[in-house]
């Protein structure tokens, strides 16, 4: 597997592209941005595939890269906000760093429940966002999460508990409306 055998890599792209895209989409909340993150992830993976010894599953490796690519972009966005020529106020990027006061009502237009989750998710810090996505959206096991995030099982447990508490506090005012 690797640069010497592009066919293998092509197969990996076919197998993992959708998963990587969805992780990127759930992290950033913007479809076009997610496509770009996913593409960059595969380019990086291809460049450094020699380092990947097959010690972990391919998706673990790809997920780690996806998270790092997204985090780097977050940093870039926080340092270089987009300014419109018609406005002096920075435009809201499709994704943002943790906002302490999300406005969930804004997100209800498309799908109330999904919109609420999106806004509340955006209020979390990057690591909390990732752990919630991996565990509660994708149903990954604690072991897989620990491999992706390169941390111990105990750390996964405590980070997940903290992330869930934070998310629950954000979403609590709207939970009653969300009950079916």
Partner 1 sequence: MNRICRKNQKLLSAYVDGMLPERARKFFDGHLDSCPECRKALQELELLRELLREFPEKHPGLGFETAILSRVREKPEVAALRSWSRRVSYGLAGLALLLIVTLYLQKPVLPPQLEVVRTPASGHPVVERKKTASVSEQKPLAPTEQKAVSRLDVLADKDAEKMLAPFSAEGKVKSETPAAPRTADSLARTEYAAVLEKEAGKHVVAFRKTAEISVDKESRVLVIRNKTEWEKTWNSQNTSQNLSLPLPEVDFKKQMVVALPTNQAGVEYKIVKTEEKPDRIIVQYRATLPGQGEAGIIPPYQFEVVNTRPSVELQKLD
Least distance to partner 1, CB of residue 123, Å: 13
Residues 6+ apart with CB under 8 A from 92: none
Nearer to partner 1, 96 or 166 (CB): 166
Least distance to partner 1, CB of residue 171, Å: 6
What is the distance between the alpha carbons of residues 143 and 70, in angstroms, rounded to a whole number? 22
Can you give the binding site for partner 1, defined by CB under 8 A? Answer: 3, 6, 9-10, 13-14, 17-18, 21-22, 25-26, 31, 34-35, 38-39, 42-43, 46-47, 111, 113-114, 116-118, 132, 135-137, 139, 142, 157-158, 160-161, 164-165, 167-168, 171-172, 175, 178-179
Least distance to partner 1, CB of residue 14, Å: 6
The first and second tokens of residue 124, run together, are 């979390």
Nearer to partner 1, 85 or 110 (CB): 110
Most distant CA atoms of the chain, gap in Å: 56
Q: Residue 23's closest CA among 138, 139, 150, 176?
A: 138
Q: Residue 119's closest CA among 109, 127, 66, 148?
A: 109
Least distance to partner 1, CB of residue 93, Å: 18
């Amino acid at each position: 597997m690797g640069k010497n055998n592009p066919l293998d890599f092509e197969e990996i792209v076919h197998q993992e592209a959708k998963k990587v895209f969805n992780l990127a989409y759930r992290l950033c909340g913007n479809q076009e941005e997610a496509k770009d993150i996913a593409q960059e992830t595969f380019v990086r993976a291809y460049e450094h595939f020699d380092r990947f010894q097959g010690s972990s599953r391919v998706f673990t490796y790809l997920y780690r890269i996806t998270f790092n690519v997204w985090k780097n972009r977050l940093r870039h966005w926080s340092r270089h906000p987009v300014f419109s020529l018609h406005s002096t106020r920075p435009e809201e990027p499709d994704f943002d760093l943790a906002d302490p006061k999300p406005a969930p009502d804004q997100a209800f237009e498309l799908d109330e429940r999904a919109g609420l989750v999106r806004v509340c998710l955006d209020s979390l810090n990057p690591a909390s966002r990732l752990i919630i996505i991996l565990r509660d959206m994708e149903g990954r096991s604690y072991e897989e999460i620990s491999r992706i995030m390169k941390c111990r099982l105990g750390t996964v447990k405590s980070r997940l508990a903290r992330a869930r508490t934070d998310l629950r506090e954000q979403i609590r005012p709207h939970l009653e409306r969300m009950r079916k």
